[in-house]
Structure 1
Amino acid sequence: MNKTLLYFIIFLLAACNTTQRKTSEVYFGGEIVNPTSEYVVLYKGDIALDTAHLDENNRFSFKLDSVDDGLHHFYHFPEEQYVILEDGDSIQLRLNTVDFDESLVFSGSNEEANNFLLEMFLANEQEEELIYKYYDLEPESFRLKIDSLKNVKLEALNKLSTEADLSEGAMEIAKAGIMYTSYIFKEAYPFYHKRKKGEKSIHNLPPDFYDYRADIKYDDNGLSYYRPYYNFMKYHLGNLSYMDCKNGCETKIKMAKNQLHYNQHKLKLIDSLIKQNELRDNLFRNVAMDYLLKYDKEENIEVFIKEFHQLSGNNRHIHE
């Protein structure tokens, strides 16, 4: 083969690859064994982008002109799971609803990032019982255990990044899942430790126990609907509210017995810390639902609702 022809072939291959990378069209499909519903719904945040019906072979497909790069999720009653989608992606999945998460496998573009996210999800589920035992430990020992679990996952992610072509966005989502999951356990530690050890007050913590808080991003648009991030925010705001009142309020009423006072603290913290609309609305809604589903005096409920409307009057969930 002469050099001119060889260079021409290389040029054509490069041009084809460039075209493939630049296309914005997205394909997402797959097969569901033992389906529990006739359709699959694809979401970005709380917005349903499209619905795909299963065919006679229990296969579905979505074809989108483009997507808002980042975290999405798909729903097949009664289960849901995340999928990272970026412009130009072509992704297939296969799962069996008998073991929905355990059987789920992604293939195609971004398969490495999506399979990694799923592996971390399953690892976190498996570690729950172990971490619950760790809450018996003293603060420094507990932190070392949690950091060890976190570092193993970060090493796995770094190894994957050297073997696969992960986008910057996919890398950030995967890392955030690891980091914020470990932060959840540290936010929860003082309360679980107190309960498990039967102590009368919150255990003294090392001055640097919450140093990770300096790295918190309170308004990360891409993570607003990501469970590790959202659940962290709930634990974090609960912790801050408790400690803020414990150390600064003049009232002598025990906060555990004064749900109104405690939840007023939460509302004010959300108002001061969270500016991203979707996350802000969802956190306000979570506090309201949690409080209103618990028994309290009617006059207290009226006070809470009034303050809720003052701070979150335009909440998208206001009519719920």
Structure 2
Amino acid sequence: MREKILNILLDKNKEFVSGEEISERLGITRSAVWKHIKNIKQQGYEIESVTKKGYKIVKCPDLLTTEIVKYNLNTNLLGKEVIYCDTIGSTNDYAKEIAKNAKEGTIIISEEQTKGRGRMGRYWHSIKGDGIWMSIILKPNIYPHEAPFITQIAGASIVSGLKKLGVNSLIKWPNDIIINNKKVSGILTELGAEIDRINYIVVGMGMNVKTIDFPENVKELATSIKKEGHNLKRIDILKSIIEEFEHLYLKYIQDKDKSECIKICRENSAVIGKNIYILKGEEKRKAKCVDITEEGNLVIINNNIKEELISGEVSIRGDKDYV
């Protein structure tokens, strides 16, 4: 009921709506309306109340609450269920805990992660209220060996979502998004599967949005949307990415079409045409990136021999820098 009342207020676009109108539309008493309004205020919404006029939203808090995320989200699958947390260890860990019984497309979002991590178990710096920390639960009817392509979809979705908001970024294959040669976002895809079937895929995305000062150990490698000169709302970024993700994901799952995703990954690659170091365990070797295949694998040349790298097997670093 609170979500419905909030949607009514948001639909009015900062115009007054009477308590009587709300109560009639929702079939509840005006006293109940007032109680829900009080709860909405406690979430941080600034709501003006005027006798004989009603209520209007003056200012929305910079929170990624369930109601705000679902409001006018243009999707058919993703975000129909949204779990919002003020703080959590890891959205991916929680998503895996509930994945068995959760609906496909369920999104877990937290204002803060205390145990955020990236690929290879690396720690992810998650400041409360400064970024986007979310995980998406997927249950595609594909084989386990096809799952790594979901990481390509996530990367393409972030780049496309940001571009629609005026932010240019690149993909450091397979799971880092960079701006000005610094990491702004990371992707962690985890799989729950049997030999021949997928039970669930959890796609975690972390993005630095408002952070200006980074810890000493990452400040030369990390950046944020705001630090790069873009003053965007977290909710606008989040919705743009989710909508792009659903578009590319359904093309892949329903139409078996990877072409648009691969095109985005190629055109926005931070590594094609560059020399890189390939890291696998203790092994480190140098090669040149030349392409991304239709399957999303990275094509490299090493000692005049072409080779394909599969997402999830290796990490890469720039010849002289992060990229």
Superposition TM-score tier, normalisation by shorter sequence: under 0.3
More helix by share: 1
More strand by share: 2
Structure ranking higher on relative contact order (CA contacts 8 Å, 6+ apart)? 2
